[in-house]
């Protein structure tokens, strides 16, 4: 059976953009594959961060992911499996410096980091894709559900695996592939030309755990037409509301409202109402499960520590083999 691995950074809130863009898909994959989902706290250190808050943020994301429906046995926090960093170091020595310099995410994020931290850009940010390769290869995962923005990192991962295999003369690592699924483009309702995102501020994302009235209010104030409407072209705001409706699984309402739109008879208030109720219907049961989890955090923590321990034995086995293959001293676990 294929092993799937994906990672999510414990930064920012869990909003509908991340839910429709990744997490909903993660849940479905659990039905078919051996899935491992990692809250990547080591990665969250590569951008300016508040020391001391990492752990709290990671656990909060764990609770949220469990509330959404990620199975506890599939979920762990990266730093509970410190072998990721050990393999990461070894893989640094199989990663091409030249290739790393071409990572576009590094270029984007390094300028963000410079702005946020008075010119500071960490080496961690630079070598981050190699740690990501370790996250994947340590479980010999073959499929990686990610967005298009991670394509370059996946290609790097394959190159590292290939170089390792060539150097040691054995097909040790399988070459992982990105698993793209059709994911809706979810834009900010306050500015439908930008992606829904945690980093742009509250009004640019709708929190999955927001109370229902807040969700309704955010949708009610969504931008529709900006005054520069072009005859026969759907405005980005209206298009985004339709995408949200479809993402929320409201296909019948989507079809009928689209017919109204085409007939020039769509009332934006109706569209907004239907979108808001669609989102609320998703969020309510999730919020209820979150409340149950929050009532017994200790039990949940123990459960995740146990999954991390089980997952760790898999990681340790790979690191043991890798050290053996490259000729490093071997410690018995």
Query: Which chain residues interact with ligand TRP by CB under 6 A?
Result: 5-7, 9, 40, 43, 132, 135-136, 144, 146, 150
Closer by beta carbon to ligand TRP, 63 or else 106? 106
Closer by beta carbon to ligand TRP, 154 or else 275? 154
Closer by beta carbon to ligand TRP, 136 or else 244? 136
For residues 205 and 196, give the distance between their C-alpha atoms in angstroms, rounded to a whole number. 5
Give the nearest distance from C-beta 5 to ligand TRP in angstroms. Answer: 6
Both tokens assigned to 314 = 């898999």
Give the nearest distance from C-beta 84 to ligand TRP in angstroms. Answer: 9
Closer by beta carbon to ligand TRP, 6 or else 307? 6
Give the nearest distance from C-beta 303 to ligand TRP in angstroms. Answer: 22
Phi, psi at residue 201, to the nearest 5°?
110, 165
Cβ proximity of 7 and 172 under 8 Å:
no
Give the nearest distance from C-beta 232 to ligand TRP in angstroms. Answer: 37
What single string gives the DSSP state of each residue in 13-69?
--BHHHIIIIIHHHHHHTTTSEEEEEE-TTGGGSS---TT-HHHHHHHHHHHHHHHT
Distance set, CA 29 to CA 22, 32, 52, 74 (Å): 11, 6, 33, 11
Closer by beta carbon to ligand TRP, 26 or else 59? 26
Both tokens assigned to 323 = 């050290």
The length of the chain is 333
Closer by beta carbon to ligand TRP, 146 or else 190? 146
Give the nearest distance from C-beta 272 to ligand TRP in angstroms. Answer: 30
Give the nearest distance from C-beta 123 to ligand TRP in angstroms. Answer: 17
What single string gives the DSSP state of each residue in 225-285?
--S-PPTTS--HHHHHHHHHHHHTT-HHHHHHHHHHHHTT---HHHHHHHHHHHHHHHHHH
Phi, psi at residue 78, to the nearest 5°?
-50, -45
Query: Looking at 55-149, which runs of residues are DSSP E strands?
Result: 75-77, 143-145
User: What does the radius of gyration of the chain's CA atoms come to, in whole angstroms?
Assistant: 22
Give the nearest distance from C-beta 145 to ligand TRP in angstroms. Answer: 8
Give the nearest distance from C-beta 143 to ligand TRP in angstroms. Answer: 10
Which residues is 6 bridged to in the sheet?
37
Instruction: Report angle CA 77, 80, 82 to the nearest 5 degrees.
Output: 120
Closer by beta carbon to ligand TRP, 39 or else 241? 39
Closer by beta carbon to ligand TRP, 44 or else 271? 44
Closer by beta carbon to ligand TRP, 23 or else 271? 23
Give the nearest distance from C-beta 9 to ligand TRP in angstroms. Answer: 6
| Nearest position to ligand TRP, beta carbon | 7
For residues 304 and 311, give the distance between their C-alpha atoms in angstroms, rounded to a whole number. 10
């Amino acid at each position: 059976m294929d092993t799937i691995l994906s990672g999510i950074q414990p930064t920012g809130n869990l909003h509908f953009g991340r839910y429709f863009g990744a997490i909903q898909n993660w849940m479905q994959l659990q039905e078919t594959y051996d899935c491992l989902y990692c809250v990547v706290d080591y990665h969250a250190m590569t951008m300016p961060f508040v020391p001391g808050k990492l752990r709290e943020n990671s656990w909060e994301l764990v609770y949220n992911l469990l509330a959404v429906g990620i199975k506890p046995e599939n979920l762990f926090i990266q730093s509970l499996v410190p072998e990721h960093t050990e393999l990461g170091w070894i893989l640094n020595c199989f990663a091409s410096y030249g290739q790393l310099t071409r990572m576009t995410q590094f270029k984007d994020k390094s300028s963000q980091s410079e702005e946020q931290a008075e010119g500071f850009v960490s080496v961690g940010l630079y070598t981050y894709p190699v740690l990501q390769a370790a996250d994947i290869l340590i479980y010999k995962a073959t499929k990686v559900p990610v967005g298009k923005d991670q394509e370059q990192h996946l290609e790097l991962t394959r190159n590292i695996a290939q170089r390792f295999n060539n150097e040691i003369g054995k097909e040790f690592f399988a070459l992982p592939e990105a698993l793209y699924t059709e994911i809706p483009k979810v834009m900010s309702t306050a500015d439908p030309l930008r992606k829904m995102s945690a980093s742009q501020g509250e009004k640019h994302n709708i929190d999955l755990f927001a109370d229902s009235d807040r969700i309704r209010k955010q949708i009610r104030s969504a931008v529709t037409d900006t005054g520069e409407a072009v005859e026969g072209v759907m405005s980005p705001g209206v298009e985004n509301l339709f995408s949200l409706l479809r993402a929320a699984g409201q296909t019948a309402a989507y079809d009928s409202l689209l017919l109204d739109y085409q007939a020039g008879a769509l009332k934006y208030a109706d569209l907004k109402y239907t979108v808001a109720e669609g989102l609320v219907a998703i969020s309510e049961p999730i919020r209820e499960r979150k409340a149950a989890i929050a009532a017994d955090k200790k039990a949940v923590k123990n459960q995740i520590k146990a999954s991390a321990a089980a997952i760790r034995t898999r990681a340790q086995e790979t690191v043991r083999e890798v050290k053996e293959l490259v000729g490093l001293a071997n410690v018995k676990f």
